Amino acid sequence: MHWPETMVTYDEADEVLFSADGFGSFGALGGHIFADEMDFDRDWLDDARRYYCNIVGKYGTSVQALLKKASGLKISVICPLHGPVWRKNLDYFLEKYQKWSTYEAEDKAVVIMYASMYGNTASAADALAGCLAERGVEKIAVYDVSNTHVSDLIGEIFRASHLVFAAPTYNGGIYPVMENLLSDMKALAVQKKTVALMENGTWAATTAKQMREKLGEMKDITILDAQVTIKSAMAAGQGDELAALADAIAAELCER
């Protein structure tokens, strides 16, 4: 269900799996061709995840079928069409594919993704990140959806267990870049996530309600009841609301 010419081939003589788009990565090789010749976690893992999630992500069931079939083979080398060749520590990358293809998070982490017209929603997102850090949450990342490529955002969505979406109301709807991200999530079958919402709207904030509806169309998405509604900018008395949202996220994170 990807490209018609894509197929996986196994060489019995040399125990090599020519894996086509499987186990591939975005990025150009810088001289070395083997994964064990480079710092894969530092230099390649994010692009390998981004490649899988955006190119193959929807087809987790098919990937699971391939992994099951490959488990019956003796594989010494994995040669993908893109990215490094694997000849050592194959279990490391196979474990990554097991998680990605079953939509399990790699990290107990919170990723906050915001869209902001005038900087007020951005400030609220940063404030929430600070509240989470105060509660002992170690792994937190914050992204501006307007200035981060959607493929990077999808990679982070697959990686993390907990997500926060913060966006203003735009012409009675969801701010377009956030709406596009949610649509991409659905198209790529994102699931098994816990989500919290923040919205902004001077007259009629409707973004959270609409984001809930879109997320509700996806499989196995838990949406926290706690949310924050901003009218243009965070008011002086809204610190308690922000703290309550941070408490709800931190508590849910501890349960996982």
Contacts 24+ apart (CB under 8 A), 167-170: 167/114, 167/115, 167/121, 167/198, 167/199, 167/200, 167/207, 167/211, 168/115, 168/116, 168/117, 168/121, 168/199, 168/200, 168/201, 168/207, 169/199, 169/200, 169/201, 169/204, 169/205, 169/206, 169/207, 170/117
Beta bridge partners of 113: 143, 165
Architecture per CATH, 107-255: 3-Layer(aba) Sandwich (3.40)
Amino acid 181: pLDDT: 98
DSSP 156: H
DSSP 72: T
Amino acid 3: pLDDT: 64
Every domain range in the chain assigned CATH 3.40.50.360: 107-255
Amino acid 204: pLDDT: 83
Q: Are 157 and 185 in contact (CB under 8 A)?
A: yes
Q: Are 60 and 97 in contact (CB under 8 A)?
A: no
Number of Cβ within a 10 Å radius of residue 161? 19
What is the distance, to the nearest Å, from the Cα of residue 140 to the centroid of all Cα atoms in its chain? 13
Rounded Cα distance between 41 and 47, Å, is 10
Amino acid 7: pLDDT: 84
Identify which of 54, 83, 25 has the alpha carbon closest to the alpha carbon of residue 153. Answer: 54
**Tokens encoding 97:** 């594919």
Amino acid 213: pLDDT: 97
Per-residue pLDDT of the chain (256 residues; tens, 9 = 90+): 556 667 889 999 999 999 988 899 999 998 999 999 999 999 999 999 999 999 889 989 989 998 999 899 999 999 998 899 999 999 999 999 999 999 999 999 999 999 999 999 999 999 999 999 999 999 999 999 999 999 999 999 999 999 999 999 999 999 999 999 999 999 999 999 999 999 999 888 899 999 999 999 999 999 999 999 999 998 888 899 999 999 999 999 887 6
Identify which of 85, 107, 232 has the alpha carbon closest to the alpha carbon of residue 158. Answer: 107
Every domain range in the chain assigned CATH 3.60.15.10: 9-101
The rounded radius of gyration (Å) of the Cα atoms in the chain is 20
Pick the CATH number of 9-101 from 3.20.20.60, 3.20.80.10, 1.10.260.40, 3.60.15.10: 3.60.15.10
Number of Cβ within a 10 Å radius of residue 162? 26
What is the distance, to the nearest Å, from the Cα of residue 80 to the centroid of all Cα atoms in its chain? 23
Amino acid 5: pLDDT: 66
pTM of the entire structure? Answer: 0.93
At which residue do the structure tokens 């929603």 appear?
A: 121
Amino acid 248: pLDDT: 96
86: three-class secondary structure by DSSP:
strand
CA distances from 184 to 27, 31, 153, 179, 190 (A): 22, 34, 10, 9, 9
